[in-house]
Chain A
Amino acid sequence: MSCVEQMKYKLYLERTSFKDAREYIEKNSEEVYYVDPGYKIFKDYYIIGVPPVAMGVRGKEMLFTYVKPCHGTFVMGIDSEEEIARLRENEAQKIKKTLKKGGLKEKTEPAPSSFNEMWKK
């Protein structure tokens, strides 16, 4: 059992699909960040998901997907200023890396229009 289940959490969606859970987070968060599957939160939970994995911030609460093989996907909310700060820092690092590579200025290709197109690259 992950440490997440032993924390004080709220459930916003239960036993749903990952796609619906992602959409819920995107629609119901003040800030949305995208992380890779395997992004670690709290002590020992590695996010399971289909990229792009959405993480939301709503006030002091972090919204994220929690997947159980026999029960589907849940959207959980846990108050954690520390994890929210880490999410923001992670995003800032990603932007820095992109700028270092000159990615934003030099990028001439059009943005992918679908996930399938992203994978082809």
Chain B
Amino acid sequence: MTEGKKALLVMGCPEVPVQTSMVIYLAHKLDKAGYDVTVAGTDAAVKLVKAADPENHYIKKTTDVDQLIGEIVEQKIDFDICFAFMHSDAGMTYGATFSAISKARPYAIVFGKNAEGLAASIDYPAEKIVAKATHNPNPLKNKIDKVIL
């Protein structure tokens, strides 16, 4: 039963193209599975998903990632499941932070040219979804589809 459960999608830097489309795809998938989905990111990352979904069909709630960290630490909000998108060390650092501050079940979605190396550097508890994808989203989409929600 996922009805009423809350999911968080944390976006990293939006410079790798697959991130935005996979965030929209996963948000839709989670929404269909009954999750209340929030997407967090930098101003630029949030603008990218909003521009692609102008009538909020797929992305219903967005928030600033740094502000959200404060709200979780202050126990104003929390989630049941958290997917952190990452293709760089900074993204991995954000993923580790959410894993530490939130009670949510953590997933690390690792992509980009150095996906395997970055995934190997993750030493916090998270289920890893790894694909060497930069422009073609399908390798990552196939991995996401294997996650049991």
A interface residue numbers (CB < 8 A to B): 2, 17-19, 36-38, 40, 44, 46, 48-51, 67-73, 114-116, 119
**How many whole Å from B112's CB to the nearest CB in chain A?**
13
B interface residue numbers (CB < 8 A to A): 11-13, 15, 41-42, 44-45, 65-66, 69-70, 72-73, 88-94, 96-97, 100-101, 123-125
**What's the Cα separation between A37 and B92 when bound, in Å?**
13
How many inter-chain residue pairs (CB < 8 Å) link A and B?
A: 77
Residues in B with CB closer than 8 Å to A37 are 96-97, 100-101
Closest to A20 in B: B89
B94–A17 contact, CB under 8 A?
no
B123–A119 contact, CB under 8 A?
yes
Majority SS at the chain A contact face: loop
A46–B100 contact, CB under 8 A?
no
B94–A51 contact, CB under 8 A?
no
A49–B125 contact, CB under 8 A?
no
**How many whole Å from B22's CB to the nearest CB in chain A?**
16
A71 partner, pick from B11, B44, B45, B90, beta carbons under 8 A: B90
**How many whole Å from A48's CB to the nearest CB in chain B?**
5
**How many whole Å from A97's CB to the nearest CB in chain B?**
18
B96–A51 contact, CB under 8 A?
yes
**What's the Cα separation between A46 and B97 when bound, in Å?**
10
A46–B93 contact, CB under 8 A?
no
B97–A38 contact, CB under 8 A?
yes
Tell me whether A69 and B96 are in contact in the complex, defined as CB-CB below 8 angstroms, given that A46-B70, A116-B123 are known contacts.
no
A72–B90 contact, CB under 8 A?
yes
Residues in B with CB closer than 8 Å to A115 are 123-124
Residues in B with CB closer than 8 Å to A17 are 89
